[in-house]
Structure 1
């Protein structure tokens, strides 16, 4: 019976991770909006795909392949109706050192392994884990990525080849020293024109494709003037044939760690992007587990066609929603629009100066974190501001995954410290009219949380008691009790009892009772009747002990 009932349940879970007719329910009502949004996002995505491909070291063609193949696969299999996927700045930051260390040939293998890891994570229902990442960590992570992307463009800004394997900070410093003047004025001029147009375009209309217009103008000027600037160069006419990357045990051991890093980033960024999209418009709920499945399949497909690992792209997804998208057809159209450009427009794309793409990424980096968001985090609390700054610094100086781990761990430690500080031990007066001998009874109320971070500090005061015959521990106000806290209570009771002090425990909550029994709190009491539900009963019992002691 158990096996029979488990099988249909497993089948339902698997079917929930696959495409279905409900994915396209809104298309009939809004087909014009979806088509227009798809074309608009395709125009926006073209320069970003080219720029991210070049910046990662994989090449412009790889960026386009990723946007097309991964964009289509993630749209069909993902868990968001409006998510747009492809190459992103965060992924570039991770991929650049991997390609520098292992060579371009390792890209497909890393992408394939990362895709499988993300796919398995989705099938294991790990999608909700992103909710555990605190807001200051997310914003610090984003700010660090923005700084890295901006600094990575400094060599292209100055017309200097970027050195493989260097950190963004070191590479930018070296480029400043190696710039050739006045030749660098050409590339600086190209970046300035692109940045000016991109910043001005939204003021004309939010949907004006500033990057495309800027790149077109800079390309025309560069070609007409014969400017001595590096260009994208020849691109293939169409998609390459799919092929499995070579993977042997030795390369698997070498590439698995970077693949895990890529997978973690792909999962985090995609789920964050999908969550942002869901908050922007009523376009349906996000299935986090299915989103991981879709992103995993997208990276696998991209790797087979020679592309990069993909993630959900927050900026392109936002453009998609603002352009009127209501179903995943818009993201599919975006991929088809890019495919059409590859099939018919590669000759024009080949002439684009690399400096123009650098300008696009520099402006994109400055928009990744709004100044208002930075101010909000810094003003929220000292602890959140500290987490934000630490996460951003570690992102720039170490790497992205380490930054997220450090940020989450740091937040956890601060939260535990706050929880420990909110806990307390308060001595109270006994209920009812005062009686002779009450000074020999100590009633303590335990507040807040009695856990590993607070137990010792909370109970030191009780352990130091002198000149009392009975201690009442009032535990009804405890909101949190863990095994360490229960063990400390057990040790405290035993220590007091050894000194001849009778301990009474009042008000153990039902949710804590099993833990209290297992750890030994009740067994450490002198008598089973020393566990009370009523404070009045506990106080009367304590007074009877004092009266008997006075008669001896």
Structure 2
């Protein structure tokens, strides 16, 4: 019996699918520069690990899941994303944007839901990456991204106010409302001790970079604050007991009946993780290291898969969803990182802290973490960027402001959705103005009856945003000036969609119903199939009313006018 040979098309499809799957997996080339850069990678990883420690603790506390979950996420997710992600220099872990989403979820569903959400959102991210949807982030306009970032910065700052004044506010409030309530219900004057810690941390973080940019300002600020609190004997809350080892991986303890209620939060977390990680990787690809060289390209689909696996791993260890962190990634690049080894070392440094210094870390004042996040949030707000956008165009400024306001007032994902819709509608409005119609004079010597012929030139874009306006202009001008024949010049149309083609059908139908003959000139080859299928040509009075040159179209129009005025044709019937 002869072997069955698969069809070539099927074999090619299988080969392409295999190649596509392989592109999403780790490979030897990920570490091609390791022989030359391992020293810089080690130094960069150590630096980022030091910078990431206070942020991981702070984001864990601020989200409501605790400092333990924050550092576990930084370790586990940071390691997995480094190995499987699509960027060689991306550093992943808990971030401020994710905290903004998680805090109300924790308030509504409890801490136990976070690990399950991390698992579920991770699965969604892997599916998005496998579906090759990673490049979709390129379609998010810059004003929407910056408005989103501004809103996140404001929310992170407001979230720290209760910790900064040692106030316990019931969760679930809007951040601005909760911040105001925290200030009014704070245990004054005892709360001044926490406020003093926040001010001290902020001052140190602002002064240290002036001494040397390479110094880990946030870590130094926390150490100074912890020492000051201990020496002065201040009555402030501490982080408390931390585990001295990683917990064993396990499935989240939550019932299946809770899953339907978590579908919305899962999609919100997955969407945020995808957007933030891809934006961070895109920015990182353009950052230059100490040698002046950029880090090169990244694979957006693989990045989604890597971040999905990272969130799944973090959920199994009791952590929270992770994303690419632009601040830590920037530190990594500027410290000389060239390969994934740097992000791996960053995770190992944090792991060493858990095993060797958990008790010391537990003594850090919570107000010190609030101070770190307040400064971090303030640095997210770029006055220069805001001025640039507000001074650009009105629709870009509106998209920026709208996204920022909705982010602070309502929800991050809703803000992105509304920002995208607003940006799209405003952009479509601008594009619609590019579709124009104007009446042109007939070239050459005038003939008797030329006043009854109208030549209209359609330029630019004729799509759903401009079709109705063009329809009204053509039919209105033709009807108001005693026109008997209309020539529509279509050779200058750069874009035509189905709605635009249907508008042409309506133009022809309306004019022919009024006794005005319509001739089409210069239908472009790329539009020809569309106008046939939509019925533009079929709507013409005669198939010969389609022309390639304007001279032929005008001559045919003149013949219509002449025949319409001959005694033998008193009714003006023409072909």
2:559 to 530, 539, 544: 544
Q: How many pairs are equivalent?
A: 552
Give the Cα separation in 2 of the matches to 1:441 and 1:258. 62
Aligned twin of 1:303: 315
- Per-residue displacement from partner, 1:21-70 (whole Å, max 9, x unpaired)? 00001111111111000000000000000000000000001000000000
Q: Following TM superposition, by how much is the alpha carbon of 1:162 offset from its aligned partner in structure 2, in angstroms?
A: 3.5
Check if 1:43 corresponds to 2:50: yes
Check if 1:263 corresponds to 2:278: no
Q: Following TM superposition, by how much is the alpha carbon of 1:422 offset from its aligned partner in structure 2, in angstroms?
A: 2.3
Check if 1:502 corresponds to 2:514: no
- Per-residue displacement from partner, 1:261-309 (whole Å, max 9, x unpaired)? 0000000000000000001132231100000000000000000001110
Give the Cα separation in 1 of the matches to 2:447 and 2:211. 83
**3-state DSSP of counterpart to 1:30:** helix
- Per-residue displacement from partner, 1:361-408 (whole Å, max 9, x unpaired)? 000001113211111111111111111000000001111000000000
Q: Following TM superposition, by how much is the alpha carbon of 1:248 offset from its aligned partner in structure 2, in angstroms?
A: 4.2
**3-state DSSP of counterpart to 2:458:** strand
Aligned twin of 2:474: 462
1:375 to 387, 400, 406: 387
Q: Following TM superposition, by how much is the alpha carbon of 1:550 offset from its aligned partner in structure 2, in angstroms?
A: 2.3
**3-state DSSP of counterpart to 1:231:** coil
For structure 1, list consecutive stretches of 5 or more residues without a partner in the other structure: none
> Does the 8 Å CA contact 1:42/1:335 hold for their aligned counterparts?
yes
Aligned twin of 1:409: 421
> In the TM superposition, what are the counterparts of 1:184-199 in structure 2 within 5 Å?
184-199=191-206
1:289 to 288, 301, 315: 301
**3-state DSSP of counterpart to 1:551:** coil
Q: Do the aligned partners of residues 128 and 182 (structure 1) sit closer, same or farther apart at CA in structure 2, a change above 3 Å counting?
A: same
Check if 1:273 corresponds to 2:284: no
1:79 to 60, 67, 86: 86
Bigger drift between 210-219 and 180-189 goes to: 180-189
- Per-residue displacement from partner, 1:459-506 (whole Å, max 9, x unpaired)? 212213231211000111112211111112112212211222111001
Check if 1:99 corresponds to 2:120: no
Q: Do the aligned partners of residues 378 and 87 (structure 1) sit closer, same or farther apart at CA in structure 2, a change above 3 Å counting?
A: same
**3-state DSSP of counterpart to 2:398:** helix
Aligned twin of 2:403: 391
> In the TM superposition, what are the counterparts of 1:63-462 in structure 2 within 5 Å?
63-246=70-253, 248-281=255-288, 282-462=294-474
- Per-residue displacement from partner, 1:76-116 (whole Å, max 9, x unpaired)? 00000000000000000000011110011111111100000
Give the Cα separation in 2 of the matches to 1:307 and 1:162. 24
**3-state DSSP of counterpart to 2:337:** coil
Give the Cα separation in 1 of the matches to 2:18 and 2:161. 52
Aligned twin of 2:508: 493
> Does the 8 Å CA contact 1:283/1:327 hold for their aligned counterparts?
no
Aligned twin of 2:531: 516
Aligned twin of 1:62: 69
Q: Following TM superposition, by how much is the alpha carbon of 1:172 offset from its aligned partner in structure 2, in angstroms?
A: 0.3
Bigger drift between 265-274 and 503-512 goes to: 503-512
Check if 1:480 corresponds to 2:495: yes
- Per-residue displacement from partner, 1:387-444 (whole Å, max 9, x unpaired)? 1000000001111000000000000100111111222110001122111111010000
Give the Cα separation in 1 of the matches to 2:80 and 2:415. 29
Give the Cα separation in 2 of the matches to 1:249 and 1:441. 73
Aligned twin of 2:4: none
> Does the 8 Å CA contact 2:112/2:253 hold for their aligned counterparts?
no
**3-state DSSP of counterpart to 1:479:** strand
> Does the 8 Å CA contact 1:431/1:539 hold for their aligned counterparts?
no
Give the Cα separation in 1 of the matches to 2:513 and 2:363. 87
The alignment's TM-score, normalised by the length of structure 1, stands at 0.99
- Per-residue displacement from partner, 1:141-198 (whole Å, max 9, x unpaired)? 0000000000001111111123211221111010111122221111111001100110
Give the Cα separation in 2 of the matches to 1:434 and 1:32. 83
> Does the 8 Å CA contact 1:440/1:468 hold for their aligned counterparts?
yes
The alignment's TM-score, normalised by the length of structure 2, stands at 0.95
Give the Cα separation in 2 of the matches to 1:448 and 1:3. 42
**3-state DSSP of counterpart to 1:38:** helix
> In the TM superposition, what are the counterparts of 1:13-24 in structure 2 within 5 Å?
13-24=20-31
Instruction: Report the aligned-residue RMSD.
Output: 1.0
**3-state DSSP of counterpart to 1:380:** coil
